[in-house]
Copies of this chain bind each other. A is one copy, B any other.
């Protein structure tokens, strides 16, 4: 690999001068600049990013910590983050934490050791203190870590209310809820939204809510239990699309027609929701947008650009398809 010294030697100048033309900084004579550029081209020299990073204490890299990239929500998010990062001159290191706090901390540590400029994280276990100790920009996405930290989330409660009311408007009389994991902020918010709408209904009892852990398998079990306990249920609001799909599978197995006998609505708007039959009615989050905005915000923070707003709550939208 050719280094800046080689270029300097070939161009007959000092390394300082080469560095100046490389970064377009400081005075360089026209004649000299040309010589240097020629040498760079000849050797197809590419600056060593590691040496640069060591000096600058920044590596032009950002870390992205998500629970699991296999979850389609995070897949799309990751894609958006990577796209925006590249566009603005950064690479991204991908980290799957499985929601495990120890893994998260371990990732934070190595990312810091690698001089990443900033980190985007989706976590429910991380504390504000852990984040602040890092002393590098962090934006929290999908799940709020603490007021005060830069955050991008969506209108979870509002979306949940929309979903539940929509089911009512479709004539559902008994509406169940498959909730997401306990302790996860957005699961709680969606549950609250549902609760607020149905709390005063005469039929409502807490047993209309079951835990689906945000994944398909748990949802299948939870739905089976829910429908066994409450065969009168004619509408289900699932806290995410994967769980909604699981619920529909169970309905099929039980011979319940969707949407005629059981209406199902999800939350997220993952691509998957349009490929199945029936296509899923759902509360759509602007997932890609979430990722883009989080990357933009993080990079603004990293580059110390003036930033209007460090807390961003995006709106959601009900898309009506064939499962309701």
Contacts and interface: CB of A to CB of B under 8 A. Distances in A.
| Chain A interface residue number, banded | 35 or more
Contact of A91 (B46, B47, B110): B110
Nearest to A91: B93
Interface in A22-79: 46-51, 53-54, 59, 61, 68-70, 75-76, 78-79
Contacts of A91: 93, 95, 110, 114
A95 B92 CA distance: 8
Given A54-B50, A78-B94, A275 B272 contact: yes
A304 interface: no
A129 interface: no
Given A78-B94, A93-B61, A252 B277 contact: yes
Nearest to A103: B86
A143 interface: no
B277 A46 contact: no
A82 interface: yes
Contact of A275 (B48, B115, B216): B216
Contacts of A112: 46
A19 to B, nearest CB: 15
A83 interface: yes
Nearest to A81: B94
How many monomers of this chain does the complex have? Answer: 2
B54 A245 contact: no
Contacts of A68: 79
Interface string A111-127: 01111000000000000
Contacts of A113: 46-50
Interface string A135-174: 0000000000000000000000000000000000000000
A245 B272 CA distance: 11
A47 B248 CA distance: 51
A4 to B, nearest CB: 13
A94 B81 CA distance: 11
A187 to B, nearest CB: 21
A276 interface: yes
Contacts of A109: 46
Contacts of A252: 277
26 contacts: A46-B112, A48-B113, A49-B113, A50-B50, A50-B114, A50-B115, A51-B54, A54-B54, A69-B69, A69-B75, A70-B76, A82-B95, A83-B96, A91-B93, A91-B95, A92-B93, A92-B94, A93-B93, A93-B94, A94-B94, A216-B275, A245-B275, A246-B275, A249-B275, A252-B277, A275-B276
Given A46-B113, A70-B76, A79-B96, 4 more contacts: A78-B94, A245-B275, A272-B275, A276-B277
